[in-house]
Amino acid sequence: MLIDWDSWGGDVLSPEAKAARKPAPPKRVPAERDLVVERHDGYVGAVVGIEAGHVQLEDRRGKVRLFPLGRGFLVDGVEVELVPPAVERSAPTRTASGSRAVEGLKARVALPSRILVEGTHDAELVEQVWGHDLRVEGVVVEPLHGVDDLAGIVAEFAPTATRRLGILVDHLVPGSKETRIAQTVERGPHAAHVRIVGHPFIDIWQAVKPARLGIERWPDVPRGEGWKQGTLKRLGMPHGSQEDVARAWQRIRGRVRDWNDLEPALLARVEELIDFVTTGHSGG
């Protein structure tokens, strides 16, 4: 019996026919930050970074895992191939703080004036959002590691009209310990050359809008309980050690893209301090 190959649409064993039967390759999707993807094993996470050919995925509990870029991912139930995001070719016209970017910036020699903030986390967040502006102006930000000895720190710095001191304080609200300490400094001999401002948040973490973390609000932590550990506990995240706190902060800070992700109560205060410590200094 002779088979009429034409009635079968041609030679089904030909290379052309075999190629036609191959499924189409999955769509290539850039692994952009906050893209939610699913693995074939059921793991679901949001993209938080790219590292050496791998994608970092953070699950709803805040745990980050590394997976090789490529196939094996689903987006909205459809298989995709994750690829590195496109590199931005043109320089941004605006900085993370919303100011106009200075092209070809070379950091100025640091001014004698300083901005002091309460802790390392505060300094890291200010640098992340206002770093470009600070280098344009030549302003150095340093952590205080607490304000209990603020009067002594100010006295040692000995600010003058050309060597000003701007200080950002957490939880600067009526009746707080921080407010009482600030008022003592403001009545002191260097008051004219010191500007103390603050925000109402117990900790700088709260200056990050909760929506960026996928929560409606920051949890309430009773007085007497460590605020950071208590917050992580109520968010269902590891909280038993300083390493847990440090990892959590890196994840929180990693969600901050620019000034839009911060509360206005912090934005205005930092801008005020930058203006204060740069007043009277000519550009160079």
In the prediction, which pLDDT does 76 show? 84
Report the top-level CATH class of 22-83. mainly beta
CB atoms within 10 A of CB 9: 9
Ranges of each domain in the chain = 22-83, 114-208+256-278
In the prediction, which pLDDT does 14 show? 55
In the prediction, which pLDDT does 157 show? 94
**Which letter, b or e, does each residue of 254-263 get, where b requires 16 or more Cβ atoms within 10 Å of its Cβ?**
bbbeebebbe
Same fold, 22-83 and 114-208+256-278: no
Q: pLDDT tens-digit profile of 81-95?
A: 999 988 655 555 677
Q: Give the CATH architecture of domain 114-208+256-278.
A: 3-Layer(aba) Sandwich (3.40)
On the question of pLDDT at 1 being above 70, the answer is: no
Question: What does pTM read for this prediction?
Answer: 0.66
